[in-house]
Structure 1
Amino acid sequence: MSNNTALFSPITINGVTLKNRIVMSPMCMYSCLEQDGKVTSFHKTHYISRAVGQVGLICLEATAVSTEGRISEEDLGIWNDEHVTGLKELVHGIHEAGSKAAIQLAHAGRKAMVKEDIIAPTAEPHKEGMKVPVAMSEEQIKKTINDFKEGARRAKEAGFDIIELHGAHGYLINEFLSPLINTRQDQYGGNMENRYRFLKEIITSVKEVWDGPLFVRISASDYHEQGNNADTYVSVAQWMKEQGVDLVDCSSGGVIQVKLQQKINVFPGYQVAFADKIRNEAHIATGAVGMITSGLQAEEIIQNNRADLVFIGRELLRDPYWPRTAAKELNATIESPQQYNRAW
């Protein structure tokens, strides 16, 4: 057994050192219906158990910066100072188990399924049968930017090590970025630079209260010939780097309903090429996501400099101790929780 692996090598990003390259990908748990966005006992069990399992970075699910920005009324929230206590307890538990903690700040835009009026760049619904959003005024844009800033302030107060902005999967930031959705005629619409303005101003605002590592999750392809693609995001990633973004988390899709997009060829690691291209052409750290299920697969991604981190989703739902499984596959030794030494 050895430790000579890339997957289990540490990495330092803007002063925060992760003990390995494994990230728990943000995944909605829809567990707050009776809690008004507050952390529940389920969240503590769910996230801390993966930290016990030796995941280097635990990234919480999409956490809403406003009530109308929830994907559903069961979402975790950070729109109120009352949310901080539970989040702080959760971060403490993750740290106690030896992992770093991240939170994904999110706004669902026109994909929100809540009682409140919902907002988007334009007044078109995501698909037939969904609520029609209000086209955002500049005043609403400024308020939403401030909601992200306040979310970042609360995240800092709760003790998170890293913040990720959710700019993917057809939610609000992604809606502004995509020409398929954003047909505004003002300074927030039109060319790519204008469509980037909303995210640009969120980053600027967040960095007024946050000086730690900042990640942004993107949809690197809209899967439509008239939409954004990886080439688009090489340029966007360069802009983000200039603003001080530390890592681009490269997912894809979600901005338009499935019947309008090209058929996605899904296979193990099908999105890794996005992380590879953006990392090596924009010269910014990236995270690879999507059907990464084995240690060998993850090791290859890091060894070949295709990404700096691997974001593991469903496989960590199936196996909370996936890092141990991956280490055995790679013939590597990794630290065990002291309480589990006799069996690790």
Structure 2
Amino acid sequence: MTSLFTPYTLKDVTLRNRIVASPMCQYQARDGLLNEWHQTHYETLAKGGVGLVMVEATAVSPRGRITLGDAGLWSDSQISGFASVAHSIKAAGAVAGIQLGHAGRKAGCIAPWQGGAPLPESDPHAWQPIAPSALPFIPGTPHIPGEMTRQDIQRTQHDFARAAVRALEAGFEWLELHFAHGFLGQSFLSRRANFRTDRYGGDLENRARFLIETVGAVKRVWPAHLPLAVRLGVVEFGQEAEQSLSESIQVLDWLKGAGVDFVDVSLALSTAGEPVPWAPNFMVPYAEKVRAETGLPVGTGWMITDARRADDFVRNGQLDLVCFARSLLANPHWPFQAARALNIQNPSAVLPTPYAYWLQNWAS
């Protein structure tokens, strides 16, 4: 029976287990360049025994950064740092994945531990973000994005495709496009953020057009034998929750036709103050519904912390992969401890050989 520690194959890529280290922004880059912090961070996650390490949201253009500390792949000069990280992840036995994104109207802010507010206009590094419509993420704030022109849209889609080429050159084998969390892709899809009257706004087909075209642009440059995934915010919590979920399932059917292989099921967070019903495992039923109605394999995270529950989600066919974030920051060797909790016959098999050797007698 398939379990949390059963290998998983998608296209020509095989993960040693179903545990994913979710992309977690570190905000430690400079001019998009990765550094020693990123190297150590991702090596540690990979050595801990996960099957897939997803490198943090990586901006496809300078204007698409959430903060000045975002990782970026808008220049060939940034490839080498990512190549080093990808090599280290693979050397530890995990698959190297990367998430490409554009922050849209949530761009141009200070780091979240400094408050996350928009950079002040007096800051020489500040810039005006772009979005489907000229609506700030937080109503009443002066951080108003510029409404994207057709040229802006085409340029951004080209930026996604070029970043995908650089990710491939760097050695990544799993690519995810970030269309969630109120960033650019999610903003195009959301009725709450998109008030356009052209072919990129209005009905669902128009609001989904940016996402579908962007997937198409990336698909043309990304190898057919490697997985292409999206992270989509499938539900906008509030009065329209059921409608947004139904629309997201339709959009995922379209994205599947455009070449998407996998869905990282997540939150919309299209507007500030969205009434999210935070609770352990709360996104699993949404992921299960997406899987059942689209036929796409799925993963999700969000407050999944218990090994037995995670294993049940895989065994019951609710999830194909289980994503972890904070649990792995607190304990990068969580997979080993999960294997012990699940009575896996050889729990040291999830670790690199040197670690496994010293942990063979793991009862001591």
- Say how many residue pairs are matched: 336
Q: CA deviation at 1:343?
A: 2.6
Q: Is 1:28 paired with 2:63?
A: no
Q: What pairs with 1:320-331 in structure 2 (closer than 5 Å)? A: 320-331=332-343
Find the partner of 1:305 among 314, 317, 328: 317
CA contact (8 A) 1:7 1:21 kept: yes
Residue 131 of structure 2 is matched in structure 1 by 120
Q: Is 1:252 paired with 2:267?
A: yes
Instruction: State the Cα deviation string for residues 279-308 of structure 1 (Å, max 9, x = none).
Output: 011111111211011210110110111111
Residue 210 of structure 1 is matched in structure 2 by 222
CA contact (8 A) 2:266 2:283 kept: yes
Q: Answer with 107-116 or 224-233: which moved more.
A: 224-233
Residue 225 of structure 1 is matched in structure 2 by 239
Find the partner of 1:137 among 128, 142, 149: 149
Q: Residue 73 of structure 2 aligns to which amino acid in structure 1?
A: I
CA contact (8 A) 1:110 1:119 kept: yes
Q: CA deviation at 1:243?
A: 1.3
Q: TM-score, normalized by length of structure 1?
A: 0.95
Q: Is 1:7 paired with 2:7?
A: no
Residue 252 of structure 2 is matched in structure 1 by 237
Q: Residue 159 of structure 1 aligns to which amino acid in structure 2?
A: G
Structure 1 unaligned blocks of 5 or more: none
For the residues of structure 2 that align with 1:29 and 1:91, how far apart are their CA atoms? 16
Residues 180 and 120 (structure 1), Cα distance of their counterparts in 2 relative to 1, 3 Å cut: same
For the residues of structure 1 that align with 2:315 and 2:359, how far apart are their CA atoms? 29
Q: What pairs with 1:64-213 in structure 2 (closer than 5 Å)? A: 64-113=59-108, 115-127=126-138, 128-129=140-141, 131-211=143-223, 212-213=226-227
SS of 1:229's partner is helix
RMSD, aligned α-carbons = 1.3
For the residues of structure 2 that align with 1:50 and 1:257, how far apart are their CA atoms? 31
Q: Residue 168 of structure 2 aligns to which amino acid in structure 1?
A: K
Q: Residue 358 of structure 2 aligns to which amino acid in structure 1?
A: R
Q: CA deviation at 1:15?
A: 1.3
Structure 2 unaligned blocks of 5 or more: 110-125
SS of 1:59's partner is strand
Find the partner of 2:55 among 34, 46, 60: 60
CA contact (8 A) 1:26 1:60 kept: yes
Q: CA deviation at 1:83?
A: 0.6
For the residues of structure 2 that align with 1:308 and 1:326, how far apart are their CA atoms? 17
Q: Is 1:18 paired with 2:18?
A: no
Q: CA deviation at 1:230?
A: 2.0
Residue 39 of structure 1 is matched in structure 2 by 34
SS of 2:235's partner is coil
Query: Identity rate of aligned residues, in percent?
Result: 42
Q: Is 1:295 paired with 2:307?
A: yes
For the residues of structure 1 that align with 2:165 and 2:321, how far apart are their CA atoms? 25
For the residues of structure 2 that align with 1:156 and 1:166, how far apart are their CA atoms? 17
Instruction: State the Cα deviation string for residues 224-283 of structure 1 (Å, max 9, x = none).
Output: 32465322221111111111211111111311010xx3x322111001111100001111
Q: Residue 16 of structure 1 aligns to which amino acid in structure 2?
A: V
Q: CA deviation at 1:62?
A: 0.6
Moved over 3 A (4+): none
Instruction: State the Cα deviation string for residues 180-229 of structure 1 (Å, max 9, x = none).
Output: 11110000001111111001111110011102211100111111324653
Q: CA deviation at 1:168?
A: 0.3
Residues 12 and 29 (structure 1), Cα distance of their counterparts in 2 relative to 1, 3 Å cut: same
Q: Residue 244 of structure 1 aligns to which amino acid in structure 2?
A: G
Q: TM-score, normalized by length of structure 2?
A: 0.90
